[in-house]
Amino acid sequence: MSDSQTVDVPTRRKTETRCFLFLAVFLAPALSIAIVGALGFSIWIYQMFAGPPGPPM
């Protein structure tokens, strides 16, 4: 490898740590909240048209 393609270990470790913290602290919780919210919203919209669950009266 040439010198321009290598990255020293402390810089790479720092970058990987920042990336992991971003994914673990911000992205994963935001995605899980968005997915659960979207599912709840879609069920709510479906029940507006199909009616609530349960036996018909």
- Its pTM stands at 0.68
Of the two residues 3 and 38, the one the predictor is more confident about is: 38
Residue 26 belongs to a domain: yes
Q: What residues make up the domain containing 30? A: 12-43
Q: How far is CA 52 from the centre of its chain?
A: 30
Q: Does the residue 6 lie in any domain?
A: no
Is 21 within a domain?
yes
Tell me what pLDDT residue 2 has. Answer: 53
CA–chain centroid gap for 41, Å, is 17
Q: Say how many CA atoms lie within 13 Å of 34 toward its Cβ.
A: 6
* Structural domain contains residue 16: yes
CA distances from 57 to 5, 25, 46, 50, 53 (A): 71, 48, 19, 14, 11
- Domain membership flag for residue 56: no
Q: Where does the pLDDT of residue 1 fall: very low under 50, low under 70, confident under 90, or very high at 90 and above? A: low
In a domain, 48, yes or no: no
Give the contacts of 53 (CB within 8 A, at least 6 positions apart).
Answer: 47
44 — pLDDT class (breaks 50, 70, 90) = very high
